């Protein structure tokens, strides 16, 4: 993506702005000469409605073709959000009638909590957290509501959410995912278990194990609300009520929400995916909107990676003075390559190697941008980069390559056995 | 398009306003179409009940000062809707035959 386009979109990655921000945005927009790729990039980043709204407030005159393309995107997202919200209300009503406690996660909650209009926050699906013991019943209820809701036969669930249930409604496909925990184990923790003996210990662990948050029983009733909640995996504070249209719903409490959003963002900073700016907007907007209500000491104690993430996001879209004064965010110098995503192996593979050049791909694989490394390994803008740059990341890549090699060898042996048996 | 055929809106197409402009779009497709006031009236009349002739007549009553240009405008707009996939024709014929539709000279 064009650097100027990224900077422009990144600046807009927030729900609320002040006059100084709009002046800054207008100045950045003045620098942009080629606007053609803006709608497509804004859409890829989930930013089309927010970008358009901020440009309009800033008085930026968009080229007509760009304006019209963005308007089309906005109307589609607005409609899709309305359809998804109606589906969400049906789901929550059904769950309530069946006595299944449910928390609404991510976009479906945030669009009402932090954005001036829900349509500013595009959604791709509905994420709903339920107790693991109720997951099958929840999935069956979705089927009764008309969703195509697959249910695996075996006991237990291999992932943190069930297979998405889908419903065709008013021209779009509504997907609802039943989550049983906020985060599952990921490759990092598996690989680390193998790599740990190879890495010499230092006073501070070289590798940061991203363990799921420890859940515990959320006791009794939400104060004044009259509901009781069973154990929901990953919660450390009581849920937060909010209004989805006219309907009362619940989502993660302040500190859990911040932790969840930050982990979600950084989990997408990997070799095959990228962190969308709309997720940056979620985090920044939530932190700024509820800055006085958030227990920042708890955040620092329980999920320090939130503060590290915020310190990096400040380089993308400047955090408010209030947030900087209340949250113990340590600021370091802006890292190099802000917004530059990973471009090495395995994202570049096969023909890409040849067209890009092997040396270039090798460099991109072993030495990605500083910004990417800091986001990926939750280093914030102040933690030392050395061990991750020169040891952790190269070993991680080596581990992945070995894994792929072993997988390839096992597959080819299996194929040979099959051929020989015939 | 025959005068007695009845245009009908395809399912899920929507006409909505944004920043003072009317857009015709389908939630699952990328193409959009900008509509002026008369186009939006024509769209609303594409209910499968009104014939092309009736739509033309109704618009003529609504905009008497533009009576000469309305037939051509209705034809062009319906053609655009049809090319966009936003309407289908039911009733008599489904072929566009603009010679049937033009107002006689003089």
Q: Do B34 and A68 touch (CB under 8 A)?
A: yes
Among left, alpha and beta (phi > 0; psi -120 to 50; other), residue A121 is beta
Q: How far apart are CA A384 and CA A373, in angstroms?
A: 11
Three-state SS for A138-164 is HHHHHHHCCCECCCCCCCCCCCCECCC
Contact partners, residue A369, CB within 8 Å, separation at least 6? A335, A336, A337, A338, A340
Does B65 lie at the interface with A, CB-CB under 8 angstroms? Answer: no
Tens digits of per-residue pLDDT, A348-399?
766 667 777 888 888 889 899 999 999 999 899 999 999 999 999 999 888 9
Greater confidence (A270 vs A52) lies with A52
Contact partners, residue A10, CB within 8 Å, separation at least 6? A277, A280, A316, A317, A338, A339
- Nearest neighbour of B18 by CB, restricted to A71, A80, A171: A71
| Position B93 confidence tier, pLDDT thresholds 50, 70, 90 | low
pLDDT computed for residue B16 by the predictor: 92
Give Cα separations from A323 to A89, A285, A287, A319, A327 (angstroms): 33, 10, 7, 7, 6
Does B14 lie at the interface with A, CB-CB under 8 angstroms? Answer: yes
- Which residues of B fall within a CB distance of 8 Å from A71? 18-19, 21, 23, 32
| Position A231 confidence tier, pLDDT thresholds 50, 70, 90 | low
Global pTM reads 0.84
Tens digits of per-residue pLDDT, A17-32?
889 999 999 999 999 9
ipTM comes to 0.76
Tens digits of per-residue pLDDT, A294-339?
999 999 999 999 999 999 999 989 999 999 999 999 999 999 988 8
DSSP state of A349: -
Contact partners, residue B100, CB within 8 Å, separation at least 6? B2, B3
- Which residues of A fall within a CB distance of 8 Å from B12? 170-171
- Which residues of B fall within a CB distance of 8 Å from A78? 16
pLDDT computed for residue A229 by the predictor: 56
Report the b/e string of A162-184 with b at 16+ CB within 10 A: bebbbbebbbbbbbbbbbbbbbe
Is residue A209 within 8 Å of residue A189, measured between CB atoms?
yes
- Which residues of A fall within a CB distance of 8 Å from B34? 68
Which residue of B lies nearest to A40 if distances are taken between CA atoms?
B30
| Percent residues over pLDDT 70 in chain A | 86
- Nearest neighbour of B16 by CB, restricted to A75, A83, A172: A75
pLDDT computed for residue B52 by the predictor: 94
pLDDT computed for residue A26 by the predictor: 94
Is residue A139 within 8 Å of residue A72, measured between CB atoms?
no
Q: Do B27 and A68 touch (CB under 8 A)?
A: no
Sign for the CA dihedral angle at A232, A238, A244, A249 comes to: positive
DSSP A45-86: TT-HHHHHHHHHHHT----HHHHHHHHHHHHHHHHHHHHHHH
């Amino acid at each position: 993506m064009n650097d100027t386009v990224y900077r422009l979109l990144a600046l807009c990655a927030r729900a609320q702005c002040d006059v100084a921000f709009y002046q800054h945005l207008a100045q950045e927009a003045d620098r942009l000469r080629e606007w053609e790729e803006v709608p497509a990039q804004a859409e890829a980043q989930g930013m089309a409605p927010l970008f358009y709204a901020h440009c309009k407030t800033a008085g930026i005159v968009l080229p007509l073709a760009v304006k019209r393309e963005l308007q089309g995107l906005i109307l589609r997202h607005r409609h899709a959000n309305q359809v998804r919200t109606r589906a969400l209300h049906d789901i929550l009503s059904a769950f309530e009638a069946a006595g299944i406690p449910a928390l609404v996660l991510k976009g479906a909650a945030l669009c009402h909590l932090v954005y001036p209009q829900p349509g500013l926050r595009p959604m791709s699906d509905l994420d709903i957290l339920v107790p693991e013991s109720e997951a099958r019943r929840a999935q069956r209820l979705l089927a009764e509501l008309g969703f195509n809701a697959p249910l695996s036969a075996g006991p237990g669930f291999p992932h943190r959410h069930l297979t998405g249930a889908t419903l065709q409604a008013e021209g779009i496909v509504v997907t609802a995912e039943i989550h049983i925990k906020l985060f599952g184990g990921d490759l990092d923790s598996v690989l680390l278990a193998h790599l740990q003996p190879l890495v010499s210990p230092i006073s501070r662990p070289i590798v940061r194990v991203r363990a799921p948050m420890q859940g515990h029983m959320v006791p009794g009733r939400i104060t004044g609300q009259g509901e009781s909640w069973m154990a929901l995996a990953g919660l450390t504070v009581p849920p937060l009520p909010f209004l989805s249209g006219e309907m009362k719903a619940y989502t993660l409490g302040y500190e859990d929400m911040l932790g969840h959003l930050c982990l979600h963002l950084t989990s997408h900073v990997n070799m095959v995916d990228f962190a969308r700016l709309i997720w940056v907007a979620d985090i920044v907007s939530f932190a700024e909107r509820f800055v006085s209500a958030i227990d920042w000491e708890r955040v620092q104690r329980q999920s320090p990676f939130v503060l590290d993430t915020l310190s990096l996001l400040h380089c993308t879209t400047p955090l408010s003075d209030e947030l900087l004064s209340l949250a113990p965010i340590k600021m370091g110098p802006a890292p190099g390559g802000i917004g530059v995503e990973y471009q090495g192996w395995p994202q570049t593979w096969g023909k890409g190697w040849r067209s890009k050049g092997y040396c270039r791909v090798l460099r991109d694989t072993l030495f990605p941008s500083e910004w990417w490394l800091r986001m990926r390994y939750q280093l914030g803008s102040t933690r030392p980069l050395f061990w991750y740059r020169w040891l952790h990341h190269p070993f991680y890549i080596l581990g992945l390559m070995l894994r792929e090699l072993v997988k390839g060898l096992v597959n080819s042996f299996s194929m040979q056995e099959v051929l020989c048996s015939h | 398009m025959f005068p007695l055929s009845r245009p009908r809106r395809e399912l899920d197409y929507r006409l909505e306003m944004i920043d003072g402009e009317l857009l015709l779009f389908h939630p699952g497709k990328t193409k959009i179409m900008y509509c002026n006031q008369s186009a939006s009236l024509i769209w609303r009349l594409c209910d499968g009940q009104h014939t092309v002739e009736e739509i033309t007549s109704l618009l003529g009553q609504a905009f008497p000062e533009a009576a000469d240009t309305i037939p051509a405008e209705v034809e062009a707009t319906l053609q655009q809707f049809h090319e966009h996939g936003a309407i289908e024709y039911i009733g008599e014929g489904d072929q566009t035959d603009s010679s049937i539709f033009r107002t006689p000279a003089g």
